[in-house]
Amino acid sequence: MDQPQLRSLEARCIQEEQPFCTAACPIHVDVRAFMTALAKGDVREARKILDRTMPFPDILGRICDQPCRPHCKRGEIGDPLAIGRLEQFCVHATQTVVKLPKLPAKGGKVAVLGAGLSGMTAALDLSRKGRPTILITGSPAIGGSLHQMALSILPKEVFVQAEATLTGYGVAIQTCTTLDRQVVASLLDEYDAVYCDWDDFDASLLPFALGTPDPLTLALERDGCFGGGGVGTSQPFSVMHQVENGRRAALSVERHLQQVSLTAQREKEGACTTRMYTVTKDFAPAAEMLPNNAETGYTFDEAQQEACRCIRCECMECVKQCVYLQEYKEYPKTLVRKIYNNQAIVQGTRNANKMITACSLCNQCTVICPHDFPVAEVCRSTRVEMVETGHMPPSPHDFALEDMQFSLGEFCALSRHQPGSDSSTYLFYPGCQLAGSAPESVKQTYGFLTAQLQGGVGLMLGCCGIPAHWAGRTTLFAETMAAFKAEVHRLGQPTVITACSSCLSMFKKFAPELTTTSLWEVLDTLPLPQGHSRPEKPLALHDPCTAREQQDLRASVRSLCTKLGIEVVEHDYSGELADCCGYGGLMQFANKGLGKKAVQHKASRSGLDGLAYCAMCRDNLAAQGRPVAHLLEYLFAASDQDPLARSNPGSSQRHENRARLKSDLLADLWQGDAIARPAHTAIRLQISQELEDLLNSRLILAEDMQKVIHHAEQTGRYLINPANKRRLAKYRPVRVTYWVEYEPTEQGYLVCNGYSHRMQLPEDSK
């Protein structure tokens, strides 16, 4: 990722866009922060926010005509906030808190002709910027048409205060000035820049044709002359509009004096649109709080209650649904910046490694995002970069990649034409996780497909390589995919029927030249198998995240459920909004705790028992103690088992299931010889359920322990506790040293504990 890519990505996340009120405010008062402060009862903090943006808070706070109000999102769920009334409360209750600094004096003499609100604002802003400014009016006092307002609204002292503010910043004020054409002409010659406030200055006194001021810069025909702030313009009179004109003119004057572009980058000045996106449906409607006494306005409590109605507009739509973004307390814009910074580290700790490896790459956030922010793609491509530059930590992905190699290895992988056939029109590809989770379902499905489909149905057991794709191992993934394609080619390019939506998504993307389809779409065209069953209760259907883009597949699943008589209850986060179960992107290996949160989040979408058609979703949900069945278990029912009651097999059993599936199929269907497994696999282990759960969470397989014990018993190298005769042994097959505490029994070995480390001891390298 380079800087321009970072910028363009950041721009797609709108969380930091202005809320609707601030965008609509001509001077962009931070209304959301103002409301937040008032809601907390911190009136002083609220005043600070007004002081920072408003030129004369004691005037503006009393008479703000709240052009933001029609844009307030609260209006969709009740009345828009009474911002004007809250500003009145705030300025009544407080004195000035923040006094903005004055920059050091610079050159350039500026005259402001007319002392209405826009003239006052321009004079104040320019003086703050260090420009010597004179405010000239023919009237006896500053304020222009503000003096037409009732004293009860704008008391005299606010004008005195405003004058003190102006002079405090060094503005020279000249009232009761005789202004005729000659005087004006000489002023124009004398000063480097002039702003005319039409509210308090007669345009006909100018010695040039007025024309139409440029709306962006308020520049008049004559260079260095600007004009605005009038009451007689086509727009309805607005004090906020006057202030905005004064501020806009002050910036134009400043740019004129600096001799830089008057027009560059001024799009966000004045009321503007915003890309902010806020969903209001989750907020309860609430009507406006009306003050008990309309004349004196809000009391403290009333103001606080009204401010509490502010929903603090923000987007966060993706974060609301994603446990990953919640866990790392990021939204996509901040996430991508952290990733960029992480990758830029040459020496030092790359603190974001874990964050980058923990995303489930499920794309739910991208579907939710109004601008399709590609979090998953950013994380995955960063993983590729980490692998290529040698910065990928080994521990997040080692286990899953070894699991993948095991599935692709001689003990599990299989590729055959249908028994008795030498060609295949179809090829059933159950996927590694279904083979690991429910080998009986694979056998039954294959039997059914061979009976129903004509032209030969081959079988391939293996792994599509998605763990390598997720881990950023480009070469390994490409090799796996190439081997798969070569094997399909060898079998005569049959139509690949896969039970796994992850496999299907990989094949569709990386093997588009092959004909691939889902098992569900095929089954939907066939009669129901004999001996199907259905649950007694309605079930919540959990779509897997990898079926997000597979609408036809999802439709077939629902159609099959209907035919089976399963009453499916849809929840809000199914289909293309489906959550990941924690396996996606290898999340559960990179951040175990987060993986658990992900599956709990998925489970929490419905209180009902569940139905899944992804083996990983099913097993992960079952691991959380949720009754959840796999759809194949109703299509091919076993009379002795309730599909909802099947527990999570765990990593070791999954390994064993895959290996046994291959040897069973070879023996039953192809009358082949069983493949001789290594000697250590003959070792019989006894493990309590509690310990098995611990070992599963430590990613220690039964086979790892068999290797340890086999090695110890063969070499006699182990430790012994003389008190109870227990043995403690270790073995390092590749990169991890496994330790097992055990004792020999008549049946085999009783495992008492197991743990591992990656750090190498001197004896490991011998």
Q: Is 591 or 648 the residue whose CB approaches another protein more closely?
A: 591
Rounded distance between C-alpha atoms, residue 183 and residue 330, angstroms: 61
In angstroms, give the least distance from the CB of 697 to another protein. Answer: 11
Chain centre to alpha carbon of residue 675: 47
In angstroms, give the least distance from the CB of 263 to another protein. Answer: 48
In angstroms, give the least distance from the CB of 721 to another protein. Answer: 5
Q: Is 614 or 705 the residue whose CB approaches another protein more closely?
A: 705
Rounded distance between C-alpha atoms, residue 389 and residue 478, angstroms: 18
Q: Is 466 or 699 the residue whose CB approaches another protein more closely?
A: 699
Q: Give the interface with another protein as residue ranges (CB under 8 A).
A: 348-351, 353-354, 393-395, 698, 715-723, 727-728, 730, 737, 739, 753, 755-763, 765
In angstroms, give the least distance from the CB of 685 to another protein. Answer: 18
Q: Is 287 or 723 the residue whose CB approaches another protein more closely?
A: 723
Q: Is 304 or 357 the residue whose CB approaches another protein more closely?
A: 357
* Residue 415 CB contacts under 8 Å (≥ 6 apart), including other chains: 458, 459, 460, 461, 462, 487, 490, 491
Residue 139 contacts residue 175 (beta carbons within 8 Å): yes
In angstroms, give the least distance from the CB of 345 to another protein. Answer: 9
In angstroms, give the least distance from the CB of 360 to another protein. Answer: 20
Alpha helical stretches, state H, 471-591: 474-490, 501-510, 519-523, 551-564, 587-590
Residue 644 contacts residue 634 (beta carbons within 8 Å): no
Task: Please give the radius of gyration of the chain, using alpha carbons only, rounded to the nearest integer.
Answer: 37
In angstroms, give the least distance from the CB of 355 to another protein. Answer: 11
* Residue 553 CB contacts under 8 Å (≥ 6 apart), including other chains: 501, 504, 518, 520, 521, 547
**N-to-C CA span, the chain:** 42
Sign for the CA dihedral angle at 594, 598, 604, 605 comes to positive
Rounded distance between C-alpha atoms, residue 720 and residue 69, angstroms: 78
Q: Is 395 or 415 the residue whose CB approaches another protein more closely?
A: 395
Rounded distance between C-alpha atoms, residue 480 and residue 524, angstroms: 30
Q: Is 164 or 719 the residue whose CB approaches another protein more closely?
A: 719
Work out the number of other CB atoms within 10 angstroms of the CB of residue 761: 11
At CB < 8 A and 24+ separation, what contacts does 203-212 make? 203/227, 205/179, 205/180, 205/181, 207/181
In total, the chain counts a number of residues equal to: 766
Helices 31-39 and 43-53: angle between axes, nearest 10 degrees: 170
In angstroms, give the least distance from the CB of 728 to another protein. Answer: 6
Q: Is 277 or 755 the residue whose CB approaches another protein more closely?
A: 755
Q: Is 207 or 394 the residue whose CB approaches another protein more closely?
A: 394
In angstroms, give the least distance from the CB of 380 to another protein. Answer: 19
In angstroms, give the least distance from the CB of 688 to another protein. Answer: 16
Q: Is 342 or 363 the residue whose CB approaches another protein more closely?
A: 342
